[in-house]
C-alpha cells in the first residue's frame, strides 16, 4: 500500500487526536512519524501509532503537559517534558539547544520525564538545517544482552548525528547501538519476513533469523557497541537523575503511567570553530569523496551515511510512502486501539 506523505500525516494526526492528544501535539507527532516512514525507517513510523494511541487513551502519555525549560548555564539546560508526547518535547528542546548554540557556540539540553520520541534523525536534522551540528542520544528499556552476559541490561540506546553541507546537502545518521533496532524486528514480524543472522538471539542465547523467536538483541561489534550503549545510558539517564540501565521503564508495561525517559541534545555552532562556508564546502566534499570511492566486490556504490534514506524520501515524494496493509487498515478504521500492547511481552509472538 502506497500513501502520499500528506495523506499519511492526516491519518496519523486524526488517530492520535481521537486518542486524546491536542491537534497541535498530534500534528507534531505525525510530522516525526511521517519523516521516519518517508526515509524508509518504518520501524519508527506509522506502525507505532496504535501503541501511542493505547498509551494516550490509558493515561500514560500526558495530553496536557506543562513543559518547563530551565537554562542552567550559558550553554546548558534541562527540559521537563511532563510525560507528554516525546516527539513534541524533543522538537521543542532542540529548538532551545539551537538558540543557545547561536549565542554561545554550544547548546546542551537534557530532556527529562518524556515518552518515546521516535526517530532521532528528525531532531538532529533540525540543527543541520539551521547550519549547526546536531547530536542526540536517548535511553530505552532493557532488551540487549551485554557483551559476555546472559540477560538484558541496556536498551537499544540510539545515537544520531547531522551536519550541513552546501545548498541542501545534509549528512545524517541515526543508529541503534544494537546491530538493529527492536523496531526492525517488529517490522519483520509485521511482514512475516526473516531477519539476518547476527541481529538477535533466542531464549537459549543462540543466533536466530526468526523474528518470532527473538529473546534479546545483540550490541554492535560486541564490546564496542556495549560501551556505546553504556555511554548513551549515562548521558541520557544518569546525568539527568533518571532511572538507568535495567531500571528504565518498559515500553509495554503500565501504560497508564508516564515513562520518565531521558534524552540529550547537543548542538555545536561551526561559526565558533571555523569559517562556516568552508565547513559546509568540506561536508559536501566529504559526501562526494565517499561516493567516488571504488566499490568493493558485490557493491555498486559507496554511500555516505543517510544517503539511501534521503534517496528513498525523494522517491516516496512522487510514488507515495509504502505502508503495511494492516497498519493502513488500522489508521483508516474507527478503532482507537485494540488493547494489544498493555503488559505485552515485547519478545512474545
Active site (catalytic) residues: 116
- Between CA 329 and CA 105 the distance in angstroms is 47
Whole-Å CA distances, 217 to 106, 121, 133, 149, 248: 34, 22, 30, 12, 16
Q: Cell digits for 213?
A: 523467536
Contact 215, 168 (CB under 8 A): no
The residues with which 114 forms a beta bridge, in sequence order, are 261
In which element (H, E) is residue 2 found?
A: strand 2-3
- Between CA 166 and CA 68 the distance in angstroms is 35
Q: How many CB atoms lie within 10 A of CB 274?
A: 10
- What torsion do the CA atoms of 79, 84, 86, 91 make, to the nearest 10 degrees? -60
Contact 43, 184 (CB under 8 A): yes
Instruction: Decide the pairing of beta strands 106-114 and 133-138.
Output: unpaired
- Between CA 100 and CA 112 the distance in angstroms is 18
Amino acid at each position: 500500500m502506497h500513501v502520499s506523505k500528506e495523506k499519511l500525516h492526516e491519518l496519523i494526526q486524526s488517530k492520535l487526536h481521537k486518542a486524546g492528544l491536542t491537534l497541535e501535539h498530534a500534528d507534531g507527532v505525525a510530522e516525526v512519524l511521517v519523516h521516519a516512514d518517508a526515509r524508509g525507517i518504518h520501524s519508527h513510523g506509522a506502525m507505532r501509532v496504535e501503541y501511542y494511541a493505547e498509551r494516550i487513551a490509558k493515561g500514560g502519555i500526558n495530553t496536557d503537559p506543562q513543559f518547563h525549560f530551565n537554562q542552567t548555564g550559558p550553554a546548558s539546560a534541562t527540559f521537563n517534558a511532563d510525560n507528554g508526547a516525546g516527539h513534541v518535547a524533543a522538537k521543542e528542546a532542540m529548538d532551545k539547544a539551537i538558540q543557545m548554540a547561536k549565542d554561545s557556540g554550544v547548546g546542551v539540553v537534557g530532556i527529562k520525564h518524556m515518552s518515546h520520541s521516535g526517530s532521532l534523525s528528525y531532531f538532529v536534522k533540525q540543527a543541520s538545517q539551521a547550519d549547526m551540528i546536531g547530536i542526540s542520544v536517548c535511553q530505552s528499556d532493557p532488551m540487549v544482552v551485554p557483551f559476555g552476559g546472559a540477560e538484558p541490561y541496556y536498551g537499544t540506546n540510539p545515537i544520531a548525528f547531522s551536519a550541513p553541507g552546501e545548498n541542501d546537502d545534509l549528512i545524517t545518521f541515526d543508529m541503534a547501538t544494537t546491530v538493529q533496532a527492536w523496531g526492525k524486528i517488529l517490522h519483520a514480524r509485521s511482514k512475516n519476513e526473516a531477519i539476518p543472522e547476527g541481529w538477535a538471539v533466542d531464549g537459549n542465547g543462540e543466533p536466530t533469523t526468526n523474528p518470532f523467536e527473538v529473546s534479546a538483541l545483540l550490541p554492535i561489534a560486541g564490546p564496542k557497541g556495549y560501551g556505546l550503549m553504556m555511554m548513551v545510558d549515562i548521558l541520557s539517564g544518569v546525568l539527568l537523575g533518571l532511572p538507568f540501565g535495567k531500571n528504565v521503564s518498559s515500553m509495554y508495561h503500565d501504560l497508564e503511567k508516564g515513562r520518565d525517559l531521558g534524552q540529550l541534545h547537543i548542538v555545536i555552532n561551526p561559526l565558533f570553530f571555523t569559517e562556516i562556508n568552508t565547513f559546509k564546502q568540506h561536508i559536501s566534499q566529504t559526501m562526494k569523496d565517499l561516493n567516488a570511492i571504488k566499490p568493493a566486490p558485490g557493491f555498486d556504490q559507496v554511500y555516505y551515511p543517510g544517503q539511501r534514506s534521503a534517496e528513498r524520501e525523494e522517491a516516496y515524494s512522487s510514488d507515495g510512502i509504502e505502508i503495511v496493509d494492516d497498519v493502513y487498515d488500522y489508521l483508516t478504521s474507527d478503532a482507537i486501539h485494540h488493547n494489544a500492547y498493555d503488559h505485552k511481552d515485547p519478545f512474545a509472538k
